[in-house]
Amino acid sequence: MRKTNQLKTLTVILFTVGLSACQSQFVSTPNAPTEASLVANSAENGLEMELDVDYITAFKNLKMAYGRCVAFTSDKDFVFTDNKLEQDLEMGTLFARTDGGAYLSKTLVESLGKNKTRLTLFLPSSYRFAQARLKLDAQRALGQDAQCNVAKPA
């Protein structure tokens, strides 16, 4: 009986932590008024990582994840994602923006050859935990974020 109660308590704690982790992704600040100002004043002049995945797959995985875990509507805030895949340039761009048009993030996925992609993430320099966000977006690009890389039911 005691183990059952401990298991229930642990399950509730893990669910609460998971829920709060997902909710913590819903932010509308810090932001930048324009794409140019975001890039010019980004954390570490843009964070980069190379991934072993095709850029189109990375783009599609990020698009899915951003639609599920980055874009949101609340009573006070609205964040949407905007994206563009340019196959002739072998790259894709994803943005997260506020309802006022301010830029929260810019993500580039660029082909480095067969099944090799450069992921570049631009976040405002005042963004806390920028490296953690880069690692999270790398997981998302690889399709490995269990919360966000889930196709929405039709």
pLDDT tens for each residue of 118-154:
999 999 999 999 999 999 999 999 999 999 998 755 4
pLDDT tens across 45-66, in order? 999 999 999 999 999 999 999 9
- Percent of the chain scoring above 70 in pLDDT: 81
Taking the CB of residue 118, how many other CB atoms lie within 10 A of it? 16
Task: Report which of 80, 79, 62 is spatially closest to residue 145, judged by C-alpha positions.
Answer: 62
Element of type H or E holding 9 = helix 2-24
Element of type H or E holding 110 = strand 103-111
Answering whether pTM is above 0.75, one says: yes
